[in-house]
Amino acid sequence: MFEPDVIYDSRRVILPTDHTRPTTERPWVRRLLIGIAVVFMAAVLVLPLVLVFTEAFRKGAETYFSAFADRQSQQAILLTLLVAAIAVPLNLVFGVAAAWCVAKYEFWGKSFLTTLIDLPFSVSPVVSGMVYVLLFGAQSVLHPLLKAYNIEIIFAVPGIVLATIFVTFPFIARELIPLMQDQGNTDEEAALSLGATGWQTFTRVTLPNIKWGLLYGVLLCNARAMGEFGAVSVVSGHIRGKTTTMPLDIEILYNEYNFAAAFAVASLLAMLALVTLVFKTILEYRFGDELAGTRRH
């Protein structure tokens, strides 16, 4: 029947009449558009990435690795890992619970609830951090109470964790909701009709169905959790070696004109980003059907 591949192969030998195909552009237009896209992407996206690594190694490998010998940078790395290790699992549990109740049931105010879940995406990171400063900071009504029990939240690790949870809040839920909605309830109903308990249904039927989508969400959530800057910056107080995560460490080093060290730490985060992208691409390529479509943020 008609040609199966919609994509037009520009490497193919072009027949004299080929440009007359009604659903593609002339070869020079195609080349021009590809050129524009490639140059634009290279200038805006690729160049900064390349620069991170060249700047990091500009003064040689020794300088590069000495940046990580610094105790304060080491602590920043540890704190970043700790924050992600708390924020991601919490948002994972929430994401599954929220997706379950939104996707499996019809209830009043459902679309309002999904809008609220998306809310942290539309809030400036600075505001995300600031809400906790207002709630727990020195001028808040809760402050005397916290002080009485010697609980430190703002300018301390708990505040950083809270701010990170806030900004990464919707990632997993948003990945799972459309996926589970697409899959419908029939598998679960079948399992229940065969005598499975609710928990068995979830672990043996639902979870295998959503595992790749879940992994995908975790991946994106983790990348953001480790890389969050604005929200964390507001609540951290920038106490080097105590309340600085890697992105904050980068800022401090950069502002101290210690560019080599700043880019060395940045290169770690850039590597994390690349690994995330690779896994993400593999997941989309291998399990595209089991993810919730190709649109994501």
Partner 1 sequence: MDIRVDTVRKEFSHYPALNDVSLDIRSSELIALLGPSGSGKTTLLRLIAGLEMPTAGRIFFGDEDASSKTVQERNVGFVFQAYALFRNMTVLDNISFGLKVRPRSTRPPKAEIRRRAMELLDLVQLSGLEKRFPQQLSGGQRQRVALARALAIEPRVLLLDEPFGALDAQVRKELRKWLREIHDRTGHTTVFVTHDQEEALELADRLVVMSQGKIEQVGTPDDVYDRPNSPFVFSFIGESSSMPVTVENHELWVGGRAIGLPAPNDAVGEANLFFRPHDVELVEDGAALAGVVAASRRVGGTRRVELEIGGNPNRVEIDLPFDHPAGEKTRIAFRPKRWRVFPQA
Partner 2 sequence: MAGAPRGASRNPSHPARAGWSFVKPSVIPGFGLTFGYTILYLSLIVLIPIAGLFLKAATTPLEQIIKIATSPRTLKALEVSFGSSLIAALVNVVFGIIVAWVLVRYKFPGRRLLDAIVDLPFALPTAVAGIALSTLYAPKGWVGSLFSDKGPLWQWWHGQTWLPFGLSEFSLNFKIAYTPTGIVIALIFIGLPFVVRTVQPVLEEFEQELEEAAATLGANRWQTITSVILPRLTPALLTGFALAFARAVGEYGSVIFIAGNLPNISEIAPVLIVIKLEEFDQAGAAVIAGIMLVIAFVMLLVINLIQAWARRRFGNV
36 or 85: whose CB is closer to partner 2?
A: 36
Distance in Å, CB of 68 to partner 2, minimum: 16
Contact between 1 and partner 1 (CB under 8 A)? yes
Contact 132, 163 (CB under 8 A): yes
Pick what 18 binds: partner 1, partner 2, none; C-beta below 5 to 8 Å, kind-dependent.
partner 1
- Give yes or no for residue 4 binding partner 1 (CB under 8 A): yes
- Using an 8 Å Cβ cutoff, are 205 and 124 in contact? no
Give CA separation, 122 vs 163, 170, 175, in Å.
15, 11, 16
Residue 113, binding choice from partner 2, partner 1, none, Cβ under 5 to 8 Å by partner class = partner 2
Q: Residue 122 interacts with partner 1 (CB under 8 A)? A: no
Residue 22 touching partner 1 (CB under 8 A): yes
- Is residue 20 involved in binding partner 1 (CB under 8 A)? yes
Identify which of residues 70 and 219 has a Cβ nearer to partner 2 in the complex. Answer: 219
Q: Determine contact, residues 209/187, Cβ cutoff 8 Å.
A: yes
CB of 29 to partner 1, least distance (A): 15
Q: Judged by CB under 8 A, which of 6, 13, 17, 141 binds partner 1?
A: 17
**Which of 3/106 has CB closer to partner 1?**
3
User: Which of 10, 14, 21, 200 touches partner 1 (CB under 8 A)?
Assistant: 21
Binding site partner of 119, from partner 1, partner 2, none, Cβ cut-off 5-8 A by kind: partner 2
Among 72, 35, 15, which residue's Cα sits nearest to residue 242? Answer: 72
Give the whole-angstrom CA distance, residue 58 versus residue 73.
19
Q: What angle do CA 273, 278, 280 make, to 5 degrees?
A: 90
With 0-12 CB in 10 A as exposed, 13-18 as middle and 19+ as buried, what is 63? middle
The residues in 200-219 that bind partner 1, with binding defined as CB under 8 A, are none
Q: How far apart are CA 294 and CA 297, in angstroms?
A: 10
**What is the DSSP code string of 44-63?**
IIIHHHHHHHHHHHTTHHHH
Residue 157 token pair: 């690790």
How many binding residues for partner 1 (CB under 8 A)?
Answer: 10
Q: Pick the closer one to partner 2 by CB: 8 or 287.
A: 8
| Binding region for partner 1 (CB under 8 A) | 1-4, 15, 17-18, 20-22
